[in-house]
Structure 1
Amino acid sequence: MYGLGADTEPGFKADVQKWASSNGVTVKFTKAAAWDTEIRARVAGGNPPDVGLFPQPGLMCDLAKQKKLVAFDDATVATDKQTLVPGFVQAGTCADGKVYGLPNEVSVKSLVWTDAPAFSAAGFTQPKTLDDLLTLTDKIKAAGKTPWCIAAESAAATGWPITDWIEDLVLRLAGPDNYDKWVTGALKFNSPEIKPAFEYFQKIAFTDANVRGGTKSIVATNFQTGGNALFDNPPGCYLFKQATFVANKGGFPDAVIAKLDTETRPYAFPPKAEGDNSVLVAGDIAAAFNNDANTLKLRNFIASKENGTEQAKAGSFSPHTTADVSLLPNKTLQTIASEVLYKAKAARFDGSDSMPAKVGAGTFWTEPVKWLSGQQDLDTTLNNIDASFPKASS
Structure 2
Amino acid sequence: MKRTAGVVRTVVALCLLAGLGLSASGCAEEPKPSVSVLGPWTGDEEESFEKVLDEFRKKGVDVDYQGTTSLRETLLAQVQAGSPPDIAVLNSVGELTEYAHDGELIPLPEAIRERSPAPWAPELTVDGRKNTYWTPVKVDLKSVVWHYPGKAAGKGAWCLGMGSGATSGWPGTDWIEDILLQRSGHAKYEQWVTGEISWESKEVRDAWETWGRIITADGGRAGAAAALRNGFEGNDGKGLLKRKGECVREHQGSFARRLYGDDVRFTPSAEAVGELGKGNGRGAYEVAGDMAAMFRDSGAARELLTFLTGEAARASWAGNVAERNRPFFPVSVGPYGDAWANRAVDRALTGARRLCLDASDVMPAGVRGAFYRAVLEFLTAPGDVKLLDGLLDQLEYEATRQRERGAGRVPSVCAAPAGGG
Both proteins in one fold, TM over 0.5? yes
Match of 1:11 in 2: 48
Tell me which of 69, 85, 89 is aligned to 2:121. 89
Q: Is the 8 A contact 1:176 1:346 kept in 2?
A: yes
Higher RCO, 1 vs 2 (CA within 8 Å, ≥6 residues apart)? 1
Match of 2:64, SS? coil
Deviation at 1:103?
A: 0.6
Residue type of the alignment partner of 2:83: N
Residue type of the alignment partner of 2:213: K
Residue type of the alignment partner of 1:223: F
Match of 1:129 in 2: none
Cα gap change, 1:158 to 1:297, in 2 (>3 Å)? closer
CA distance in 2, matches of 1:211, 1:237: 12
After superposing on structure 2, the runs of 4+ consecutive aligned residues of structure 1 that deviate more than 6 Å are none
Tell me which of 96, 105, 109 is aligned to 2:138. 105
CA distance in 2, matches of 1:323, 1:116: 26
> In angstroms, what is the RMSD of aligned CA positions?
2.9
Deviation at 1:199?
A: 2.8
Deviation at 1:228?
A: 5.8
CA distance in 2, matches of 1:348, 1:5: 27
Match of 1:172 in 2: 182
CA distance in 2, matches of 1:35, 1:367: 22
1:319 corresponds to 2:330 = yes
Q: Is the 8 A contact 2:107 2:132 kept in 1?
A: yes
CA distance in 2, matches of 1:154, 1:225: 10
1:221 corresponds to 2:230 = yes
Q: Percent identity?
A: 24
**TM score, norm. by length of structure 1:** 0.77
Aligned residues: 348
Q: Is the 8 A contact 2:78 2:84 kept in 1?
A: yes
Match of 1:181, SS? helix
- The structure that is strand-richer by fraction is 2
Match of 2:285, SS? strand
CA distance in 2, matches of 1:105, 1:41: 25
Q: Is the 8 A contact 1:286 1:302 kept in 2?
A: no
Match of 1:334 in 2: 342
Cα gap change, 1:357 to 1:322, in 2 (>3 Å)? closer
Q: Is the 8 A contact 2:265 2:341 kept in 1?
A: no
Cα gap change, 1:343 to 1:51, in 2 (>3 Å)? same
CA distance in 2, matches of 1:289, 1:351: 24
Deviation at 1:15?
A: 2.5
Residue type of the alignment partner of 1:31: G
Residue type of the alignment partner of 2:228: V
**TM score, norm. by length of structure 2:** 0.73
Q: Is the 8 A contact 2:84 2:295 kept in 1?
A: yes
1:47 corresponds to 2:83 = yes
1:277 corresponds to 2:289 = no
Cα gap change, 1:211 to 1:80, in 2 (>3 Å)? farther
CA distance in 2, matches of 1:45, 1:171: 39
What are the Cα deviations for residues 344-368 of structure 1, in whole angstroms up to 9, with x where unaligned?
333333322222222212x212223
Structure 1: stretches of 5+ with no match in the other structure? 127-135, 141-145, 252-256
CA distance in 2, matches of 1:230, 1:11: 25
Deviation at 1:74?
A: 4.4
What are the Cα deviations for residues 137-186 of structure 1, in whole angstroms up to 9, with x where unaligned?
xxx3xxxxx43232223455432210010122233233334333323333
What are the Cα deviations for residues 43-97 of structure 1, in whole angstroms up to 9, with x where unaligned?
22222222221221111122111211111244542x325xx4x41222xx44534
Q: Is the 8 A contact 2:84 2:296 kept in 1?
A: no
Match of 1:366 in 2: 373
